[in-house]
Structures are given as C-alpha cells and as structure tokens.
Amino acid sequence: MIILDNVSKYYPTKFGRNYVLRDVNVTLPRDRNIGILGANGAGKSTLLRLLGGMDMPSRGKVTRQCRVSWPLALNGGFQGSMTGRENTRFVCRIHGVRDTQAIEEWVKEFSEIGQHFELPIKAYSSGMKSKFSFAVSMAFDFDIYLTDEITSVGDARFKQKCIDTFTQKRETASLIMVSHDMKNLRQQCDMGILLRNSKLEIFENIDDAIRIYQSL
C-alpha cells in the first residue's frame, strides 16, 4: 500500500504557488495495476516521483508499506560524478544489499554500456543513462514498479529485452504507470487515477477512467 495523507505539492513561481496536488487523501493498493491519466502539465510525473520518494510533498505525508521502485529509466536520479559501478553499489547499500558484486556485474551486462560502466555517469549519452537506469531498476525486486513510458529505453532490440525482463518481474509485482497511450494503459492496468485540478479521482476500472478523461 502507498498512503497519501493530506498531501499537497506546489512549486513556487513568480505568479505564486503552482499547485500540482492539494489536500489529497488516498490509499493505493499493493495488488492492483494502476494507470495515471491527466493532461500535459497536470502533475503525473510529479505524482510518480512523490510515490517513489524521489520528491517530497510540500505538506502532508506519503507512506510506503511495501517496496516501491523509483520511476523506471529515470535519468536524473544518479550521482553524475560517480561511475556506473559506484552508483550501482550506492543503490545496493540503500537497499540493504551487502554483497554488491553480483548485482554490479548483472547491471554491467544488462545495460550493455561496456567500459562506460567504469566512467562517471555525467559522461553518458542520454540513451546510455536510460539503459543503465533501467538495468539498475531490474536488478532489485520491488512490490510496485513505477513507470513513465518504458518505450523510451534504447533501440528496438534493447526495448524488447526490457519488456521481456519487466514482464517476468510483473509476475510477482504490480505497476503504477503514467501514459498518454490509452491502448497501452488498457493492456497494462486494471485501475485508473485521473489527475486534474490538483486532485486525484480514483476509478476501480481503467475503462471508466479513460472514458471520463477522453470526454474532458
């Protein structure tokens, strides 16, 4: 379960506070696949970051009662001056893994970035960063995976490898995904969240969420 308790999130701007969420109280179950819908700029990516703990609410509290991933293929979550190997080791430590060697080698192999693994992340191309980030995400077992569009990782072959690996993970985990692709949302999700006017509307059935979203 992920519990949002009176959560507000805003960004200060020169026009005043830009509220993305305002006084939101919801509990997201551990065992449903949830699609997040909303117009451009509604706050879907911000919500995903709050759920994963990459970002903090301005007010209120987000409580995770299970292991929640960071948004897959997130490019900005690593330490640029550290190498891929060092970043992997760091993430291992955060997740309480002491013997990091096997995970380091798995990430090196899966990401296909070769000797770049031993170089600082800031020297990676954006494609390399996505591959590396996806590989690190797949090296751990989470209960809930957070994802923006997975389709943005690497070339066609690598993308297929990601989809296959992720499909395996999903046998024991669930998914909270942001997408503008309704077909993809219908295929992957059974429950929906519509984000508009700084509030979340929860739909038990993804089809209902899509119908309301498309009628807006």
Which residue in this structure is represented by tokens 């308790």? 5
- Please report how close the Cβ of residue 46 comes to ligand ATP at its closest, in angstroms: 3
- Count of residues engaged in binding ligand ATP, rule: CB under 6 A: 11
Sign of CA dihedral 93, 98, 101, 103: negative
CA angle 33-155-190, nearest 5°?
A: 10
CB of 11 to ligand ATP, least distance (A): 3
* 18 counts as binding ligand ATP under rule CB under 6 A: yes
Closer Cβ to ligand ATP, 43 or 192, answer by number: 43
Q: Which residues between 44 and 63 bind ligand ATP (CB under 6 A)? A: 44-46
Tell me whether residue 21 or residue 121 sits nearer to ligand ATP (CB atom): 21
- In the complex with ligand ATP, which residue's Cβ is closer, 7 or 92? 7
Cβ atoms of residues 42 and 85 within 8 Å: no
Both tokens assigned to 60 = 């209120």
Q: Per rule CB under 6 A, is residue 42 in the interface with ligand ATP?
A: yes
What distance in Å separates the CA atoms of residue 80 and residue 50, rounded to the nearest whole number?
A: 22
Find the binder of ligand ATP among 1, 11, 76, 181 (CB under 6 A). 11
CA-to-CA distance for 41 and 57, rounded, in angstroms? Answer: 17
**Cβ of residue 195: shortest distance to ligand ATP, in angstroms?**
7
Mask of contacts with ligand ATP, 22-41, x by CB under 6 A? ----------------x-xx
CA distance 102 to 95: 14
Residue 20 binding ligand ATP, by CB under 6 A? yes
Q: Does 76 bind ligand ATP (CB under 6 A)?
A: no
Residues that bind ligand ATP (CB under 6 A): 11, 18, 20, 38, 40-46
